């Protein structure tokens, strides 16, 4: 995001026509080109994947772009650009961090296109629906603040979410 802001400023100084949010029209191309620099490739993999149609070329891409949002707005131009290029995102939230929940991952917004395809069957079975349970818990907890009388299933879900959150908390300055 810092790179996009700097590129926008330089483009405006050069009097290039601004587009959405005053970013130049080629900022999407610029992001994809920047992410392509993270490529490292293995010829055996490409040969097997393309059934020998591509020879001498290889391909794999791993990058960790960090995007700073303004007030947590993932629908702004730069975050949506990078989200559309990458296979998923981990959304870290300041409010969770300040509440002592570390890592401060918002399970509701964080997604992976690869997801379960990269997990073994055992991991899929053990993890179950933890991500969706956490996302639902955080939504319910926000609404439960204003409710005085909750039904048994809601209380049970809130209790489970609180326990899972405590289980997954990582102490500050203590990596797992």
Task: Please confirm, yes or no, whether 113 is among the known catalytic residues.
Answer: yes
- Higher pLDDT: 59 or 51? It is 51
pLDDT of residue 56: 66
Mean pLDDT taken over the chain: 85
pTM of the model: 0.72
DSSP state of 111: E
DSSP state of 116: G
pLDDT greater than 70 at residue 41 = no
- Higher pLDDT: 61 or 11? It is 11
> Pick the catalytic residue: 40, 102, 113, 131?
113
Q: What is the pLDDT of residues 75-94, one digit of tens each?
A: 999 999 888 888 888 999 99
pLDDT of residue 162: 93
SS3 96: helix
CA distance 106 to 20: 27
pLDDT greater than 80 at residue 43 = no
Handedness of CA 168, 171, 173, 176 (dihedral sign): negative
CA distance 14 to 95: 39
**φ/ψ of residue 56, rounded to 5:** 80, -5
Give the least confident one: 23-27, 51-55, 81-85, 108-112. Answer: 51-55
The pLDDT confidence band at residue 10, using thresholds 50, 70 and 90, is: very high
pLDDT greater than 70 at residue 98 = yes
Q: What is the pLDDT of residues 121-158, one digit of tens each?
A: 888 888 878 888 898 999 999 888 888 788 999 999 99
CA distance 110 to 165: 16
Place of tokens 């995102």: 89
């Amino acid at each position: 995001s810092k790179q996009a802001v700097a590129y926008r400023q330089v483009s405006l100084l050069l009097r290039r026509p601004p587009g959405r949010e005053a970013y130049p029209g080629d900022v999407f191309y610029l992001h994809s080109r920047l992410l392509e620099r993270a490529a490292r490739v293995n010829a055996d993999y490409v040969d097997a994947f393309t059934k020998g149609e591509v020879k001498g070329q290889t391909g794999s891409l791993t990058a960790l772009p960090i995007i700073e949002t303004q007030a947590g707005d993932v629908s702004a131009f730069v975050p949506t650009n990078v989200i559309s290029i990458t296979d998923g995102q981990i959304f870290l939230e300041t409010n969770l961090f300040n509440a002592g929940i570390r890592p401060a991952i918002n399970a509701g917004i964080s997604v992976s296109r690869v997801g379960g395809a990269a997990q073994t069957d055992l991991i899929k079975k053990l993890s179950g629906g933890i991500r969706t349970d956490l996302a639902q818990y955080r939504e319910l907890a926000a609404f439960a603040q204003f409710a005085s009388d909750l039904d048994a299933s809601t209380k049970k879900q809130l209790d489970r979410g609180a326990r899972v959150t405590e289980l997954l908390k990582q102490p500050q300055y203590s990596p797992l």
